[in-house]
């Protein structure tokens, strides 16, 4: 077994990290079909926000006469049609990466903005044994970004004992604030550029590109308080 001396929990985003990204292309097409302009700032304001906030920001961007609730409901209908043609799937290499984590003395959980029944139970049944038995998935819609809540309220850990893996720079910003571990796996150029601006030291093309050596290095950096410059 490989040993972490600091990290006690690895928390992995689901959409776009363990499962194929169906939200950023659906958000872009929804905005553009409704007369809006898709920009890095709009992506930041919508992607990874609580649903009602995402609906509000898309409504403003598209100058829609709808409430935030009606806008987000219309978006989820749009997303439902999108995934009919682009089904949600486990990304290549996800199971191998989760297998790698099992070689360490660490708990593993996942999180995302939809219910456990919708995303974890429906799309990840083949992976469930890789996750914490008591808390395999955290629905973060009402607590986004969720770094503090996952770390302190749910798992009762110190911030430097958790490694987050996410495709959204907003999570990187909050991870930096709290000095948690962080690996970025951005699926858009906007997010990659923003992570670089935030100072993320570890940016991988996907979870398949995360290595044992990278994980051990991050653990050592967290011990020495050198993970964030």
Tokens read off for 188: 């858009």
The three state secondary structure string of 25-81 is: HHHHHHHHHCCCCCCHHHHHHHCCCCHHHHHHHHHHHHCCCCCHHHHHHHHHHHHHH
Global pTM reads 0.95
Long-range CB contacts (< 8 A, 24+ apart) of 217-226?
218/7, 218/163, 218/181, 218/183, 219/4, 219/5, 219/6, 219/7, 219/181, 220/5, 220/6, 221/181, 222/6, 222/7, 222/160, 222/161, 222/163, 222/181, 223/5, 223/6, 225/160, 225/179
Domains of the chain plus CATH, in order, are: 9-20+89-224 (3.40.50.1000), 23-85 (1.10.150)
Q: Is the pLDDT of residue 1 over 80?
A: no
Phi, psi of 157 (to 5 degrees): -120, 170
Tokens read off for 118: 């919708």
The predicted-structure confidence for 138-182, as pLDDT tens digits, reads as follows 999 999 999 999 999 999 999 999 999 999 999 999 999 999 999
- Residue written as token pair 């996942």: 110
Chain mean pLDDT for the chain? 97
Q: Is the bond into 213 cis (omega within 30 degrees of 0)?
A: no
> Are the beta carbons of 111 and 150 closer than 8 angstroms?
yes
182 Cα distance to chain centroid: 11
**pLDDT confidence of residue 98:** 99
pLDDT bin (cut points 50, 70, 90) of residue 100 is very high
Number of C-beta neighbours around residue 180 at 10 A: 27
């Amino acid at each position: 077994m490989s040993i972490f001396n600091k990290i006690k929990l690895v928390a992995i985003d689901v959409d776009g990290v363990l499962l194929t990204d169906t939200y950023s292309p659906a958000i872009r097409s929804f905005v553009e079909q409704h007369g809006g302009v898709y920009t890095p700032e709009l992506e930041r304001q919508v992607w990874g926000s609580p649903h009602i906030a995402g609906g509000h920001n898309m409504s403003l961007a598209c100058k829609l006469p709808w409430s935030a609730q009606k806008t987000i409901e219309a978006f989820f209908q749009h997303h439902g049609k999108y995934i009919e043609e682009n089904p949600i799937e486990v990304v290549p290499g996800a199971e191998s990466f989760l297998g790698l984590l099992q070689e360490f003395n660490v708990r593993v959980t996942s999180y995302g903005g939809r219910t456990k029944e919708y995303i974890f139970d429906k799309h990840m049944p083949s992976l469930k044994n890789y996750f914490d038995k008591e808390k395999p998935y955290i629905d973060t819609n009402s607590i986004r970004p969720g770094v503090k809540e996952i770390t302190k309220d749910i798992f009762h850990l110190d911030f430097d004992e958790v490694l987050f893996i996410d495709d959204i720079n907003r999570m990187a910003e909050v991870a930096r604030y709290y000095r948690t571990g962080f690996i970025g796996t951005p699926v858009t150029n906007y997010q990659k550029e923003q992570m670089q601006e935030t100072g993320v030291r570890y940016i991988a093309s996907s979870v398949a590109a995360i290595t044992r050596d990278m994980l051990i290095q991050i653990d050592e950096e967290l011990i020495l308080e050198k993970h964030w410059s």
